[in-house]
Every structure is written in structure tokens, then in C-alpha cells.
Amino acid sequence: MKKRIATVSLAGCFGCHMSLLDIDERLLDLLELVEFDRSPLNDLKRFTGPCDIGLVEGGCCNEENVHTLHEFRANCDILVAVGQCAVMGGLPVMRNAIMHAEDPLRECLETAYLDSDYVLNPTNSIPNDPALPLLLDKVYTLADVVKVDYQIPGCPPSGETLWHTLDALIAGRQDRLPYELIKYD
């Protein structure tokens, strides 16, 4: 039976998903082995059933991220944090550096939307549409919120790294990434 895979990008940039496409023609091999459930690759927005593997890109910066992550945890046997943002918070986590401020979230929003020299905001307002998910007090990594089975480093992890990961998980192998794939300098 084909393994079922779900993927999602939370507070990420979709770079990790782009990197997945870098496995090139092996995408065809992959499709022989797996079936994609919820994923931006097929634009499925809801789980259709339990999955074997969930790949999550990005950390959690808002309530929707947390909600989605909980759904992934509940529906996927193996949950993989893919890329720097999912593992350590990545670029978004830089806002945690102002946590020591009196009112950190307000300061963050005001800098981003009002005060910065590089902002053009004629209405001088911070976006607050009811449809916008509420921000969390700080950015959380996946492991802060749920139990994570594997963490794949890289910004983004190379196509080769993701292929190696998927190949091992699909075959049910306990594996380590070879040194060459996680050496960045």
C-alpha cells in the first residue's frame, strides 16, 4: 500500500516546499511510492484521513499555525519538522528578541507597520481584520507545541536531504543524514 503524506507551511516561506521540487525527476518515483493527502502541492485544505508522514515547514507565529499543527499531530503517525523555521524558529523567531520590552507584541507591530522608515502606510493603522488569525505572544518552534519525531535542518534543506529523509521514512528505516548533507560551510 502506498504511504500517505501530508505537508504544510506554517510560519515559513514555502522555500522548503520549493526545495522538495528540487528532487526533479525523482518526483515521479516518489509518486509511485506515496499518495499526497492534505498539501499545498495538490491544494487539499483538509485531511481526508490518517497519514503516515507529515512534513511541516515553518514554526508557529499565530493561532492558526497552532491549530494546523495540532491537526497534523493528530493525523500523522510520524511528524517531521522540516527546515530551520520549524526546528528553531528561523527568521520569524527574530521577533522574540524584543521579548524583554515592556509590551513586546505591540512594539513589534508598531515597528513593522507604523514606525519603520521603510513603511508606507497612509491609513497609519495596524491590520486587524477579523479574518486575520491572532498572533501568539512569541514565535514557537514545532517542538515547543507538539511532540516532533524528526527534525531536518537547513534553510532550506536541499532536495537531496529531503529525498534522503523521505526515502528512509517510506522504507521504515531509522537513518541519520550523511554528514555532507548537513554541512553548510
Partner 1 sequence: MAICERFGNDRTRLLDILLEVQAQFRFVGPSLMECIARQISTYRVEVEGMVSFYAFFSDTPRGQVVIRLCDDIIDRHAGTGEIARVFSRILGIGFGDTSPDGHFTLEYTPCIGMSDQAPAALLNERVVTCLTPERAEEIALGLMGGLNPGELELPEGDGNNLNPLIGSTVRNNIRLRGEVLLGEVPADAGLRKTLRRPPDQVMEDVERAGLLGLGGAGFPTGHKWRMAADTPAERRIVICNADEGEPGTFKDRVLLTERADLMIEGMTIAAYAIKADGGIIYLRGEYAYLRNYLEAVLQRRRDQGLLGAGADRLGGFDIRIQMGAGAYICGEESALISSCEGLRGEPKNRPPYPVESGYLGYPTIVGNVETFCCAARILDRGAAWFRSWGTKASPGTKLLSVSGDCERPGVYELPFGVSVRELLDLAGAPDAAAVQVGGASGQMINMSQFDRRICQEDLPTGGSVMVFSARRNILEIVEYFLDFFIEESCGYCTPCRVGNVFLKQRIGKIRQGLCQPEDLDYLRELGRTVAETSRCGLGHTSPNPVLSSIANFPLVYAALLKENRNGREASFNIQSALEESRHLAKRRSMIYDPTYDGD
Binding site for partner 1 (CB under 8 A): 63-64, 66-67, 70, 73-74, 79, 103-106, 109, 128, 130-131, 133-138, 140, 143-147
Calpha distance 176→90 (Å, rounded): 22
Pick 11 or 79: Cβ nearer partner 1: 79
The number of angstroms, rounded, from the C-alpha of 34 to the middle of its chain's C-alpha atoms is: 20
| Cβ 48 to partner 1 shortest distance, Å | 20
CB of 65 to partner 1, least distance (A): 11
Q: CB of residue 104 vs partner 1: minimum separation in angstroms? A: 8
* Cβ–Cβ < 8 Å for 58, 86: yes
Q: C-beta of 7: minimal distance to partner 1 in Å?
A: 18
At residue 18's C-alpha, the angle toward residues 13 and 20, to 5°, is 125
Q: Are 53 and 169 in contact (CB under 8 A)?
A: yes
- What are the Cα distances from residue 81, in Å, to 75, 104, 123, 131, 145? 15, 27, 38, 27, 12
Minimum CB distance to partner 1 smaller for 132 or for 171:
132
Give the H/E segment covering residue 51: strand 51-57
Q: Which is nearer to partner 1, 2 or 106 (CB)?
A: 106
**Residue closer to partner 1, measured from CB, 29 or 63:** 63
